Amino acid sequence: MVGAVLPGSGLIIGGRRVIGALVLLCTLAVVGCGAYVWWERRDEVLASSVIPSRLLLAGVAIAVLAFGWIVVVVASHRLLRPATGGAAGRAAGAILVGALCFAITAPAALGVQSVMAQRDLVLNVFAAQKESKSATRPSTVNVKDPWEDKPRLNLLLIGGDDGPGRVGVRADTVIVASIDTRTGNTALISLPRQLTFMPFPKDSPLHKAYPNGFGQEGLSLEGRLEWMLTAMYQNVPEAHPGILGPSDNQGADVVKQSVGEATGLGIDYYLQVNLQGFDEIVDALGGITVNVNERVAMGGISSAHIPPGQWIDPGPNQHLNGFRALWFARGRYGADDDQRQIRQRCAIKGIVDAADPATLVTKYQAIAKAGKHLLRTDIPQELLPALVELALKVKSGTVSNVTLDVSKLRLKYLHPDYEGLRETVTKALAQEPTPTPSVPPTPARTSPPKPTATTTPPPPVQDLRDACAYHPTGAQSDN
């Protein structure tokens, strides 16, 4: 037993003092170095967790250390077992040694599997800069300090909807995450999927193809559906294949350019999640916890007057599994785009909150397995160590919601005010988030409230903790 708890000590007691002392010194050195690295160089360890070569080395090291530990345990037992004791004593000793070896092997095997799962995820989702093609990402990356001349990193989050009954992929969710590279504070900007005449930069080939933006005049509402933001991902590459140059994901490059022009932000990279697999990621995390402020439909078709079969009822701190979390993020029946967008941002917050260290350690293999098949991105492997450090800042920073005035910006009209949208985004990023107190629950109203002379618009930038707090809307509509 002593040889398993403190490798080398059993050899010393058994008379093999020199080799026992060497093993003991090596053990203490490994433990000491591990403690030092974890407490003093933790960021470097986390950065190494996204470098495939170091992950392979870590997996081999875990296996070698575990094998060496087992050899020491067996050798210590052979030296210390009684010369007399009969068959029962030998059997008991063998069982004890077997149990100790299993206690070493099981966590080591789990560690190796987790490390290899992480390596597999990195290799499958993140390609090296020279091994992948993108028409819109930064051409060069300063690996040593990528944020040296970059105060903000702008990521485009695309929720791709390619479920049953759909042709191609639709950009069901489009969110820009603008991250302050110094503080980690992040602003989320959700764009309505029904935006029309989405613009392109004047120096882009797409501007020549669509000089007035992605849209057409004189179309019926049904015809206009194929000229909205949600349809760009599929329709533009089909109409103009390869127009932007070599690309591993033409649809994402099209949306990146257009969203960047519409918001006035240079979009650096994209991260695309298949919404049909969103539930797998949530289940891998063990579910997410959100506040539900209004009834959310699980199914139903508003245009066909087909009611949903189930609802997610209002309530604080509701723990949702993957299936219910997916409907929380995308439920449309009886809801407008503004409601869906805030729910989507709150779902993102729920995932960030759920991804605590304990969850990542215990459920990482399931998370990596789900992510490997559901994520697409043009973020190069070379940038991952710096992104890990930035992600730690984001985790401890403030995540805010940029509110877009739908009426003022004419976001639901044929020609939205993109100049006003860019101005709104610029002003929002220039100010700190303004926390607002949560509104206490109010009883359901039996009659509509009287209009007031003035209304207070929501702050342009709102802490997402406040936006996602529990403040039920009162009476719930069943339509």
Own/partner pairs, 111-114, CB within 8 angstroms, 24+ separation: 111/62, 112/59, 112/62, 112/63, 113/365, 114/361, 114/364, 114/365, 114/368
Query: Is 453 a domain residue?
Result: no
Is residue 421 domain-shared with residue 368, that is, in the same domain?
yes
Query: Is 291 a domain residue?
Result: yes
Is residue 417 domain-shared with residue 356, that is, in the same domain?
yes
Res 444 pLDDT > 60: no
Is residue 196 domain-shared with residue 77, that is, in the same domain?
no
Is residue 226 domain-shared with residue 116, that is, in the same domain?
no
- Give the whole-angstrom CA distance, residue 159 versus residue 255: 12
Res 479 pLDDT > 70: no
| pLDDT category of residue 164 using cuts at 50, 70 and 90 | low
Name the percent of the chain lying above pLDDT 70.
Answer: 87
Is residue 159 domain-shared with residue 234, that is, in the same domain?
yes
Is residue 82 domain-shared with residue 165, that is, in the same domain?
no
Is residue 99 domain-shared with residue 190, that is, in the same domain?
no
Strand, helix or coil for residue 176: strand
Decide which of 457 and 135 is more confident: 135
- Give the whole-angstrom CA distance, residue 384 versus residue 306: 46
| pLDDT category of residue 199 using cuts at 50, 70 and 90 | very high
Instruction: Note the pLDDT of residue 435.
Output: 46
Is residue 326 domain-shared with residue 462, that is, in the same domain?
yes
Instruction: Note the pLDDT of residue 83.
Output: 64
Instruction: Note the pLDDT of residue 445.
Output: 43
Where a domain ends, among 125, 160, 185? 125
Is residue 176 domain-shared with residue 228, that is, in the same domain?
yes
**Largest pairwise CA distance in the chain:** 98
Angle of the 337-354 helix axis to the 322-330 helix axis, nearest 10: 150
- Give the whole-angstrom CA distance, residue 265 versus residue 401: 16
Give the range among 9-18, 136-145, 399-408, 441-450 with minimum mean pLDDT.
441-450
Query: Is 449 a domain residue?
Result: no
Is residue 287 domain-shared with residue 355, that is, in the same domain?
yes
Res 440 pLDDT > 50: no
Instruction: Note the pLDDT of residue 454.
Output: 42
Is residue 213 domain-shared with residue 335, that is, in the same domain?
yes
pTM: 0.76
Write down the mean pLDDT value for the chain. 83
Structurally, the chain folds into a number of domains equal to: 2
pLDDT digits (tens, 9 = 90+) for 110-122: 889 889 988 988 8
Where a domain ends, among 125, 160, 181? 125
Write out the DSSP string of 178-228.
EEETTT--EEEEE--TT-BSB---TTSHHHHH-TT-B--TT--HHHHGGGB
> Which residue shows structure tokens 């439909």?
297
pLDDT digits (tens, 9 = 90+) for 49-77: 888 899 999 999 999 999 998 988 888 87
Is residue 249 domain-shared with residue 114, that is, in the same domain?
no
Strands annotated E in 220-286: 269-274
Query: Is 147 a domain residue?
Result: no
Segment 397-416 mean pLDDT: 84
| pLDDT category of residue 242 using cuts at 50, 70 and 90 | very high
Highest-scoring range by mean pLDDT, 50-59, 248-257, 305-314: 248-257
CB 468 within 8 A of CB 291: yes
- Give the whole-angstrom CA distance, residue 415 versus residue 227: 12
Where a domain ends, among 107, 125, 143? 125
pLDDT digits (tens, 9 = 90+) for 126-157: 888 888 899 999 887 777 888 988 999 999 99
| pLDDT category of residue 419 using cuts at 50, 70 and 90 | very high
Decide which of 72 and 1 is more confident: 72
- Give the whole-angstrom CA distance, residue 62 versus residue 457: 57
Res 293 pLDDT > 80: yes
Segment 262-277 mean pLDDT: 88
- Determine the structural domain holding residue 84 and report its residue range: 2-125
Torsion of CA 152, 291, 457, 433, to 10 degrees: -30
Segment 209-218 mean pLDDT: 92
Which CATH number does the domain housing residue 255 bear? 3.40.630.190
Instruction: Note the pLDDT of residue 422.
Output: 94
| pLDDT category of residue 204 using cuts at 50, 70 and 90 | very high
